[in-house]
Structure 1
Amino acid sequence: MASDDIAQLVDALSKTHVGDGELSFKGLGMKLDNAESVEELVQEIEQCHDLRALRLEGNTLGVEAARAIARALESKDQLQRCYWSDLFTGRLRSEIPKALESLGSGLMIAGTRLTVLDLSDNAFGPDGVHGMEQLLRSPTCHTLEELRLNNCGMGIEGGKILAEALMECHRRSVAAGSALTLRVFVAGRNRLENEGSSSLAKAFQLMGSLEEVHMPQNGINYAGVTALASAMRHNPDLRVLNLNDNTFTKRGTLAMAQALRHLRNVQVINFGDCLVRCEGAIALAGVLREGLPILKELNLSFGEIKEAAALVVAQAIMEKPYMKKVDLNGNFLGEDGCEALRETMDSQDKADMLASLSDDEGPDEDEEGHDDDHEDDCCNEEEFGKENGTAKEDSPSKSHCPDEVLSFLDTPSAEKLLQLGEMTGHLLPEVDRADPHKSADVLLKVASSYSEEPVTKTTVLETFDMLLRKLLSGSAFQAYTFLSTLLVLMGVLKGEGKKKKKVPLVAGQLLCLEHGVQQDYFAQHHAFLLHTVLSKNREALNACSSSMERLMSALEKRCLDQN
């Protein structure tokens, strides 16, 4: 080694930190190519008899240098925390797996029991995951609590390899008598996409111990989001969920909202830049109404959320005692919407909770339905319910609907409804909380038969009450999902997926809603939701202005009701 290089290394090593069992070479920018280049470093490792944490990040490590360090680690059985991020800058892709294998071998020979392994910012790809595969499967990782692999370029293949290694580690740790309890998992910017994230979801579900999950910028859409949502339900201690800059759309958001209903310890949710949109935001508001009792931060920024849906979210967080920050920046609120949101928060002395709205995109001018996921987002909600565990509990067995009922649903009319008589009860199985689109369609068909003729009016309103009572009697999440779907079919709220045919609106439908709002089954927060959305989209109901005014009056009274 040249004298200048030796002098540089001696100077760098003089800056190392030793104390509390930690040996740090962090950020020294050392180019460690071979055994000779790490002689001083290895000596310091060997002389640190109670080594519990080793920081190597911010240097660049070659294969031979890694092998020399690994040999020094073979006697360090107390080592628990390895901070090895940004460790291979400028190295060939083929070098990194070999270096990782060597380092892992040293740890396994020593019999260490790691709690933290940080390999972030190492662009090692799937080959790098192969390089640490044996380490992750070994007893050395049975005690692992934090695994940080941010910005490693693992890709789909790497995600699958990692998932299998974690599952094998868990199986072996269970057999050894002490299950792997991974608490923190970080894997942002890894191009995991749907297949990689779905594979990892299986590992997450198996472990059930996660407290923090950070997987931003991974190219995940609704299929991967749905898999992750299902896994999160099995991690009851989850506190932080960061999936920023993936693509939820309606279907993924509904799945994630469904999962969040079952989690009581979540404190931070980051779904920014995830295309949550209006229906998804309203569904999340339903979850906020009934769950997430200790939530502190909610990020729904850059999600194409419009004013009315943003206000519904704002209303839902008002009673959260620990809430500190809600981020709705970069959405489609417009100047008036931003002001309305600020006023809503300020009216409850929550203005300091609202993040900046400086990047708002302005009102959305596109009145057509979104179609980003083509037919994928257009699956019916019954399929969604089956995937997320609601269909079984909420759906009746397939009903044998009488021909008269089918005839009414095909071409609804007051005459046909009256002819049903006691058979109107057969309409009840036709509305299902797991299929809000079909349920909203049936309800609007019943309401379209309304007239002021006394017998017809009584029959329609009684049938309407029977159906709406059932649909609003479930969770707030289910009720909000149904009400947002109803508003989409009425043409008041913009929907998602292939453009769905709206139900031709008639005055009777609004008059039935006016009646329903005044009934005991219609909760005040349901009235808040309808009033908020309708008041921001009055022009959609101009054809029925008189009935609209009656409905809005009833909603305003219900919102002010103190009972």
Structure 2
Amino acid sequence: MRSVIVLYRLNNCGFTNEACAALASALRLNPSNLRELALTKNRSLGSNGVISLSTVLRDPQCKLEKLSLCECGITEDCCADLASALRSNPSHLRHLDLSDNSLKDTGVKLLSDGLKSLHSLEILWLWGCRYTEEGATALASALKSIIEHLRGLDLSNNRVGHSLTLLSEVIQDPRCKLESLQLYLCSLTVEGCAALASALKSNPSHLRAMDLSDNNVGDSAVNQLSAVLENPRCKLESLWLRGFGITDEGCAALASALKSNPGHLRQLILHNNNIGQSVRKLFTDMRDDPHYILHHVQI
């Protein structure tokens, strides 16, 4: 008999922790066919609900591949249980989204202990989880253990700050094949962006999309990133630098990089920067020039 693949998508359904406990109890009866569990925007689910779900994840018969718990009212209180469950049964999970929950540094550090075991993880979203450099440092350490399969990483709207230097060491690893990196509104520094650019110079051929918006770092960081763009091995297709503190000087470096390597970047987002009309025209001319594939420009 053919097995049935079960996908539970119960987003924004008003789930409470009591309802989640009942769901977990039902899932424990037959966990082997469950592949996706999406409970996003169930704000009353809370940490107790996640603790109930952790009993399902811990079951050796559970083969869950995608778990989405974005905006579920989760705090650091459940992270030890979740990490323990991930360590107990690490072989199947490929996509984990815990975004927009108040995990803070304590929760992210606890969770990182469980992430180290997830060698099949491809997508990790932890945006808006209220952690700082302390949590991001623990996370970077965990990512070193699982970088080989990771393809998408979103840490946006957290105060990552100087810990980007440690994350850059992960990206520089030749095993890293990250395709999407989202770090908007992360309190990035010039030094961190320089480390990121250095990492991408040494391992440039996999990343396709990067968002560093709303980090007011300025032209020096853009100059570093431009050196990545002009690398013929660079395959970046989408670059978001909204609100990055760029002036005409930084834009000139970007334009020069694209002229020397025009065949990869398709989307460039530069609005909310201090850019003059002449430079704006330079990029719109590139958009209309068939020599480039820059089809989408926002300035």
TM-score, with normalisation over the residues of structure 1? 0.45
Correspondent of 2:120 among 209, 216, 237: 209
Q: Which of 109, 134, 137 does residue 29 from structure 2 map onto?
A: 109
- Which residue matches 1:300? 212
1:129 aligns with 2:50: yes
1:186 aligns with 2:100: no
Q: Which runs of 5+ in 1 are unaligned?
A: 1-48, 51-76, 90-95, 171-179, 363-563
Higher Cα radius of gyration: 1
What CA distance in whole angstroms lies between the structure 2 residues aligned with 1:281 and 1:275? Answer: 11
Report percent identity of matched pairs.
23
1:325 is displaced (CA, Å) by 1.3
**More strand per residue:** 2
Q: CA deviation at 1:107?
A: 2.3
Q: 1:288 aligns with which of 181, 193, 200?
A: 200
Aligned position for 2:81: 161
Residue of structure 2 in register with 1:83 after alignment: 9
Deviation at 1:85, TM superposition (A): 1.7
The reply on whether 1:261 has 2:179 as its aligned counterpart is: no
Letter in 1 for 2:94: R
User: Would you say the 8 A contact 1:85–1:122 is kept in 2?
Assistant: yes
Larger RCO, structures 1/2 (Cα 8 Å, 6+ apart): 2
Measured on the aligned residues, the alpha-carbon RMSD in Å equals 2.3
Q: Deviations over 1:430-459 (max 9, x none)?
A: xxxxxxxxxxxxxxxxxxxxxxxxxxxxxx
Is 2:223–2:250's contact at 8 Å kept on the other side of the alignment? no
Q: Which amino acid aligns with 2:48?
A: D
Q: Distance in 2 between matches of 1:151 and 1:86?
A: 9
Paired position in structure 2 for 1:424: none
SS in 1 for 2:124: strand
CA contact (8 A) 1:133 1:165 kept: yes
Q: 2: CA distance between counterparts of 1:354 and 1:282? A: 22
Which residue of structure 2 lines up, in the alignment, with residue 244 of structure 1?
A: 156
Contact residue 163 and residue 199 of structure 1 kept, 8 A: yes
Q: Are the counterparts in 2 of residues 113 and 139 from structure 1 also a CA contact under 8 Å? A: no
Match of 2:111 in 1: 200
Q: For 1:215-364, what aligned pairs fall within 5 Å after superposition? A: 215-235=126-146, 236-250=148-162, 252-262=163-173, 263-319=175-231, 320-334=233-247, 336-348=248-260, 349=262, 353=266, 355-360=268-273
User: 1:308 and 1:138, CA in 2 relative to 1: closer, same or farther beyond 3 A?
Assistant: same
Distance apart, 1:346 and its partner CA: 3.9
Taking structure 2 as the reference length, the TM-score comes to 0.83
In the aligned structure 1, how far is the partner of 2:79 from the partner of 2:37? 17
More helix by share: 1
The aligned runs of 1:338-487 (5 Å cut-off) are 338-348=250-260, 349=262, 353=266, 355-360=268-273
Q: How many residues align?
A: 270
Tell me, yes or no, if the aligned pair for 1:277 and 1:306 is still in contact at 8 Å: no
Letter paired with 1:213: L
Alignment of 1:460-539 (within 5 A): none
Once residues 170 and 254 of structure 2 are traced to their aligned partners in structure 1, the CA distance between those partners, rounded to angstroms, is: 29
Is residue 338–residue 357 contact of structure 1 (8 Å, CA) maintained in 2? no
